[in-house]
């Protein structure tokens, strides 16, 4: 029997396909939630290590749950965690607060392995990790599989990022650019009111700039109406939030009949 490779590499091609992708943020430290998201039909799950409470060991268990249930796992993490998250076998990383093309170029180098003759990136190489099957899938094949199959999603969450959206999206190695509406709203002085007209105008400008650069624009979409509005501006990588969905369902169940 041939063992399944631990690294799911479908995401970059899906992002280039032009079709809509629907996923979900999960900040709850529970592999069962990841499996539930898979069985519900989401294409990808973003394990949220920026705002969630999972430690690295639990994160690795959630990546195993994703591989076993068939959902593509990304991890939203801070830049310094990229090496360990990738060695655990994440299919992609989603990095917050990217403001310039130079920021994006630095992240590409952290995600990609160096190539023979120069080029590629600066990711440290170890074949003892889960991503390489603890040595079972190491060597040049692992390097190529990782460089080709791991997605880098960068997040725009400030007015500076909006101004540079086209340049960020044009950086080779950036697979998608995700607009974070809550942080963008706060950074623009609108607190959490991202439906305010100035914030929506900034979101529209950023999404259209990413699409014009030929990249995959993404954004939070918590309703069908959100998705349709943002799709009209070019978005096609959409994410809801697991904790919000669960809390809403619990509220409904707690109400008297």
Domain of 123, CATH number, reads 3.20.20.60
Instruction: Identify the active-site residue in 51, 61, 142, 190.
Output: 51
| Residue pLDDT, tens place only, 109-166 | 999 999 988 778 999 999 999 999 999 999 999 999 999 999 999 999 999 999 999 9
Query: For residue 48, what are the CA distances in angstroms to 30, 68, 215, 229?
Result: 12, 19, 23, 25
Residue 119 Cα distances to 18, 28, 116, 126, 170, angstroms: 28, 38, 8, 19, 18
- Is the pTM higher than 0.85? The answer reads yes
Q: How many domains in the chain?
A: 1
Whether 207 is in a domain gets the answer: yes
The answer to whether 91 and 8 are in contact (CB under 8 A) is yes
Q: Indicate whether 27 belongs to any domain.
A: yes
The residue with tokens 């590409």 is: 108
Whole-angstrom distance, CA of residue 129 vs CA of residue 115: 20
Strand, coil or helix: what is 176? strand
Distance of alpha carbon 2 from alpha carbon 68, whole angstroms: 15
Residue bearing tokens 């990588």? 237
Residue 126, C-beta contacts closer than 8 angstroms, at least 6 positions apart: 87, 132
The answer to whether position 24 is within a domain reads: yes
pLDDT beneath 50, residues of the chain: none
What is the pLDDT at residue 38? Answer: 98
Q: Is residue 4 part of a domain?
A: no
How far is residue 40's CA from residue 202's CA, in Å, rounded to a whole number? 32
Contact between 176 and 15 under an 8 Å Cβ cutoff? The reply is: yes
Q: Is residue 31 part of a domain?
A: yes
* Three-state secondary structure string covering 8-28: CCCHHHHHHCCCCEEEEEECC
Domain that holds residue 207: 11-254
Whether 211 is in a domain gets the answer: yes
Does residue 3 form part of some domain? no
Task: Mark whether 5 is an active-site residue.
Answer: no
Decide if 5 is inside a domain: no
* 79, two tokens: 């830049």
């Amino acid at each position: 029997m041939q063992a399944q490779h631990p690294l799911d590499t479908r995401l970059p091609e899906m992002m280039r396909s032009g079709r809509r992708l629907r996923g979900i943020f999960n900040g709850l430290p529970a592999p069962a939630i990841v499996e539930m998201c898979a069985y519900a039909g989401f294409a990808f799950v973003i394990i949220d290590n920026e705002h969630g409470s999972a430690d690295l060991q639990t994160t690795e268990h959630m990546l195993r749950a994703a591989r076993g249930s068939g959902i593509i796992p990304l991890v939203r993490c801070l830049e310094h965690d990229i090496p360990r998250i990738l060695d655990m076998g994440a299919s992609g990383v989603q990095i917050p607060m990217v403001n310039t093309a130079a920021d994006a170029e630095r992240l590409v180098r952290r995600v990609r392995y160096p190539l023979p003759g120069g080029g590629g990136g600066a990711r440290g190489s170890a074949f003892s990790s889960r991503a390489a099957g603890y040595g079972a899938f190491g060597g040049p094949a692992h390097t190529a599989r990782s460089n080709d199959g791991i997605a880098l999603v960068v997040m725009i969450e400030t007015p500076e990022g909006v101004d540079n959206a086209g340049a960020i999206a044009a950086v080779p190695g950036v697979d998608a650019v995700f607009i974070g509406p809550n942080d963008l709203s706060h950074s623009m002085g609108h607190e959490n009111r991202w439906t305010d007209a100035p914030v929506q105008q900034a979101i529209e400008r950023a999404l259209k700039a990413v699409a014009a650069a030929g990249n995959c624009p993404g954004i939070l979409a918590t309703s069908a109406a959100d998705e349709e509005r943002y799709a009209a501006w070019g978005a096609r990588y959409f994410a809801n939030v697991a904790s919000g969905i669960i809390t809403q369902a619990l509220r409904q169940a707690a109400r008297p009949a």
